Amino acid sequence: MGREGLLFTSESVTCGHPDKLCDAISDAIVDACLEVDKNARVAVETMVKTVDDTGHIVLAGEVRLDGNVPDYESIARETAVSIGYTDHNIGLDATSDSQCKVQQFITTQAANIAQGVDRDGAGDQGLMFGYACTETEEYDELKGRFFPLAATLSQRLTRRLKIVRELSSDAEGHLSWVRPDGKSQVTIEYDDSGKPSRIHTVIIAIQHDDRLKDKFGGDEGQELRFVESEIIKHVIKHALPSSLMDKNTKIVVNGTGRFADPGGPKTDAGLTGRKVIVDTYGGMGRHGGGAFSGKDPSKVDRSGAYAARWAAKHVVAAGLADRCEIQLAYVIGVAKPVSIRVETFGTSTIPESEIARRVNRTFDFTPHAIINTLDLLKPIYSPTASGGHFGRTPGVDGPFPWELLKQNILSDLIEG
């Protein structure tokens, strides 16, 4: 491989990326429905696109609940506003009835689907993966995540891009010219033993105020150098461990030269569920294909994936393996998974078959048990819509109960 070791890259996108805007609206609707009825059945998709003088938000899906139906249009608008879409020149003005139209195509859940779920069966067929590893555990600021390093760092960058935009105007690090839409990408280099050794490349793309160049007499070259300097100082150096950076780390900010207004839905259409790798393990762990956002926890696409991650994280945290991936598969209307597979990629400290036995004995992967054990019938899903569903800090980033390690479960797995 020449002078470079093995490389692995993961990306993330900001909360204002059009696809994440859609995820946020869909999850805000899930939370609103669960506020009304904890047993609400929700499967809602969102599409956004700004065309000429009008932004469009389209809501479609199925909802069944016992109680007053939430005001879906208001939820969609308020969510977009909270993310920062309050100006048509940026990409969308969700405050304006004339410049932003909301269409609704939400119906009642089909009776046959409801019947199977009401018997505590899975809300659909499908397969899900959970993954955990020790890559984050050598760094104090990342301990406890048990998560792929490239995914962890790319997510930290996009969350930091949101923070610098939302800081008070007099706070150190506030970047008033940063817009909601953006991306990050981190490439990690591994040594011969397979351990992360350094950050090879960092890429940031961030939408900014089109008038920023006016500070430099219209010179776009000076504007880019300013953007690079501020992003490196207030985002990259703040979010990434200095021990992983060196003089050879390549940093690219706005590689096209400019990412100026308009952005967001003006330049790209957004759809719910289109960033499933960003949502999970950055490509290092496999993905079953089902999206999470917009779905209540009876949908095993969501709850099954959370349970698989929870179990895999416990296996690694218990010291039974350095890497663990758990696959679950379900059939609609049936409670127990049709298959459970545990894979440790040759990193286990005991036979893999024994780990599988302990996992099957310790965890109940029926939808009803998952929902009760992880307390999923609460409006806790909006924080998951951006920044990743896994590798988060529970109680700080949001509830994220599937990230909580339980000592009794660790002990059961260790003692066998």
Annotated catalytic sites, by residue? 17, 19-20, 45, 62, 183, 259, 268-269, 274-275, 295, 299, 301
CA distance 51 to 272: 19
CA distance 363 to 359: 6
Angle between helices 72-83 and 18-36 (to 10 degrees): 130
- Number of residues in the chain: 416
Are the CB atoms for 130 and 311 separated by under 8 Å?
A: yes
Question: Distance of alpha carbon 368 from its chain centroid, rounded?
Answer: 24
Q: Is the peptide bond before 262 cis (omega within 30 degrees of 0)?
A: yes
Token representation of residue 374: 């992880």
Residue 316, amino acid: V
CA distance 100 to 92: 7
The pairing of strands 54-64 and 100-107 is: parallel
Three-state SS at 270: strand
CA distance 341 to 323: 14
CA distance 180 to 89: 13
Phi, psi at 380, each rounded to 5°: -115, 15
Q: Residue written as tokens 């759809």?
A: 271
**HSE-up of residue 223 (Cα within 13 Å, Cβ side):** 22
Alpha-carbon Rg of the chain, whole angstroms? Answer: 22
Burial of 35 (0-12, 13-18, 19+ CB in 10 A): middle
